[in-house]
């Protein structure tokens, strides 16, 4: 069957089972949008900024496990989308982002809205394409979806010149992909797995180091089985929150810069680290030479370039985590004695008794940690939680009771302020039966505030909870700790009226200064099913603790701050 390049794009979405595209039209991609107008196979959600379109596709992907899709135009349309691509790339999120481009004959002429899109996206995508003819478009689109979701997931960018979208060619969509230079290893080496199993059974102080690869591979149930069978304590990275239930007695909490005392001490004193899908981020490891320096290391990851990149690994296993665990767990069960680790568990329990994760509540001012715990008490499993980036992100990771994978949607690697609200829209579209909550700060929310209009128009009821301290809070905290309180450009005392701003865009706003007011506002927003902004005035000087100063060691945490 012959069709135009623009029609091929629409047909490919249909064949890939895409039900939602987030995007923003423009001159170079108008032929594609003309075909969107004619079809009913998927819903297009018009965001008000290209960055938000990619973040929304990202939130959709993280919450569902399916590939997210976004369309943008050339030039500034594409450059606006780059932050979204980089955010997804750092956190291994499967996306296909299609951009319009000036006609082939005009590439390199500094044409209107021309930019070297593939040159820009090369460093922040898993793969990218500049399409040169309609004839190659079906193959490229098929490959894009395959590459995005296979192996270590990531965003794929397809740049399509306008004349290609108008060109007519035969449409034959491939049913099978064979890329000689891209064949991810999914099955782990059995001999290595056996050695790792023996090491686990012989260890005295082992600890599971759970990373985001567990979420991406869909292996959380196997991980839970592994932890229960061995009774080995576990720590989670930010990206792995929800791998274990929050109330699992073997979960020591989050590890790293703002991790729990017992989690960081476990990593410092372990003799065997069982790393399942983490990437040894510097916010986890602190000073590398001191990180788990007494431990042998097992590292399972589907990306061979991640293994041994930052620390030496004794038992490297390349493979899909799910497939590796299906082989490893029975082998460990044959030899493991959970009682062997009782003394180790007692030590870690004592660490938690000495320095538990806590905060000092107040009856005079709302503490941000109370807000997060309260939302957990009221909504619990009913909510999927998105965040922006800053203090509220860390408090959320510390205090929300996560109980299942994909319940937390947050920008971990790139740390993108402005991510939370559009991502929460994608969550609501992907899992409509859940309450979509976005914990944000008064700095972050303004970075994509225009999406209030998108959410209201598209009927995506996101509840934004602004933990408002009138500061760029995390930067202010670092200025307090490390810059002698020189608060350079972090005071946000001048702010919009968030209630009226929400109402102006068709949503509902609440300003909250007491715990009673917060409960009423949250219940009202959830019951009404509306796009809401709850502006919560919190303790202005609250800090995120514990804290490992940048480049410090996990065993030397700041547990309190005294002025």
Locate 332 and state its tokens. Answer: 């460990």
112, 342, 523, 560: the catalytic one is: 112
Report helix, strand or coil for 83.
helix
HEC string of 441-468 equals: ECCHHHHHCCHHHHHHHCCCCEEEEEEE
Q: How close are the terminal C-alpha atoms of the chain, in Å?
A: 73
Parallel/antiparallel/unpaired status of strands 2-4 and 168-170: antiparallel
35, 50, 236, 451: the catalytic one is: 50
Residue 441 β-bridge partners: 467
113, 231, 450, 495: the catalytic one is: 113
267, 474, 547, 557: the catalytic one is: 474
Is position 474 annotated as part of the catalytic site? yes
For residue 11, how many other CB atoms are within 10 A of its CB? 19
Nearest-angstrom CA–CA distance, 68 and 71: 11
Is position 50 annotated as part of the catalytic site? yes
Is position 112 annotated as part of the catalytic site? yes
Nearest-angstrom CA–CA distance, 513 and 499: 13
Residues 212/153, Cβ–Cβ less than 8 Å? no
Residues 312/297, Cβ–Cβ less than 8 Å? yes
Q: Mind giving me the DSSP string for 364-423?
A: SSB-HHHHHHHHHHHTGGGEEEEE-SSHHHHHHHHHS---STT-EE---SS--TT-HHHH
The residue assigned the tokens 């890939």 is 16
Is position 113 annotated as part of the catalytic site? yes
Locate 513 and state its tokens. Answer: 């200064």
Residues 375/465, Cβ–Cβ less than 8 Å? yes
Locate 391 and state its tokens. Answer: 């203090």
101, 143, 145, 162: the catalytic one is: 162
Inter-helix orientation angle 420-430/50-64, to 10°: 50
Phi, psi dihedrals of residue 384, rounded to the nearest 5°: -105, 130
- Residues that are catalytic: 50, 112-113, 162, 474
């Amino acid at each position: 069957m012959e069709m135009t390049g623009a029609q091929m794009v629409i047909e490919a979405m249909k064949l890939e089972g895409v039900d939602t595209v987030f995007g923003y039209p423009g001159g170079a991609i108008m032929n594609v949008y003309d075909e969107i107008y004619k079809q009913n196979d998927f819903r297009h959600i018009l965001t008000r900024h290209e960055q938000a379109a990619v973040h929304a596709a990202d939130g959709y992907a993280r919450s569902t496990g399916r590939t997210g899709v976004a369309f943008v135009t050339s030039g500034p349309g594409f450059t606006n989308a780059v932050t979204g691509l980089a955010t997804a790339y750092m956190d291994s999120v499967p996306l296909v982002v299609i951009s319009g481009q000036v006609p082939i004959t005009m590439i390199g002429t500094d044409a209107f809205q021309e930019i070297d899109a593939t040159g820009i996206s090369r460093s922040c995508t898993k793969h990218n394409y500049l399409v040169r003819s309609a004839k190659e478009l079906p193959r490229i689109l098929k490959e894009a979806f395959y590459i995005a979701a296979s192996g270590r997931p990531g965003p794929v960018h397809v740049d399509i010149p306008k004349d290609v979208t108008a060109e007519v060619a035969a449409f034959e969509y491939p049913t099978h992909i064979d890329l000689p230079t891209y064949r991810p290893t999914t099955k782990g080496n059995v001999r290595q797995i056996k050695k790792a199993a023996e090491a686990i059974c012989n260890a005295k102080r082992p600890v599971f180091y759970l990373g985001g690869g567990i979420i991406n591979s869909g292996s959380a149930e196997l991980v839970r089985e592994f932890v229960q069978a061995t009774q080995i304590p576990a720590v989670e990275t930010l990206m792995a929150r929800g791998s274990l239930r929050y109330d699992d007695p073997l979960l020591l909490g989050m590890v790293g810069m703002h991790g729990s005392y017992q989690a960081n001490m476990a990593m410092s004193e372990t003799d065997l680290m069982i790393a399942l899908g983490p990437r040894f981020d510097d916010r986890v490891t602190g000073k590398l030479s001191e990180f788990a320096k007494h431990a042998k290391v097992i590292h399972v990851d589907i990306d061979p370039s991640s293994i041994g990149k930052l620390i030496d690994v004794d038992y490297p296993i390349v493979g899909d985590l799910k497939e590796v665990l299906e082989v490893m767990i029975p082998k460990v069960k044959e030899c493991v004695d959970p009682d062997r680790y009782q003394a180790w568990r007692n030590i870690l329990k004592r660490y938690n008794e000495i320095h538990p994760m806590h905060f000092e509540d107040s009856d005079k001012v709302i503490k941000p940690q109370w807000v997060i715990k309260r939302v957990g008490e009221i909504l619990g499993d009913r909510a999927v939680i998105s965040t922006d980036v800053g203090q509220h992100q860390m408090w959320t990771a510390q205090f929300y009771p996560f109980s299942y994978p994909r319940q937390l949607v947050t920008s971990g690697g790139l740390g993108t302020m402005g991510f939370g609200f559009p991502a929460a829209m994608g969550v609501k579209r992907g899992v409509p039966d859940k309450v979509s909550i976005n914990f944000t700060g008064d700095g972050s929310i303004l970075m994509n505030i225009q999406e209030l209009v998108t959410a209201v128009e598209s009927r995506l009821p996101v509840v934004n909870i602004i933990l408002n301290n009138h500061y760029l809070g995390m930067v202010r905290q670092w200025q307090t700790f490390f810059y002698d309180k020189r608060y350079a450009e972090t005071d946000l005392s001048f702010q919009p009226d968030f209630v009226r701003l929400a109402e102006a865009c068709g949503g509902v706003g609440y300003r909250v200064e007491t715990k009673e007011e917060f409960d009423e506002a949250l219940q009202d927003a959830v019951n009404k099913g509306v796009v809401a902004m709850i502006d919560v005035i919190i303790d202005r000087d609250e800090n995120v603790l514990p804290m490992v100063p940048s480049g410090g060691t996990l065993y030397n945490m700041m547990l309190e701050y005294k002025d």
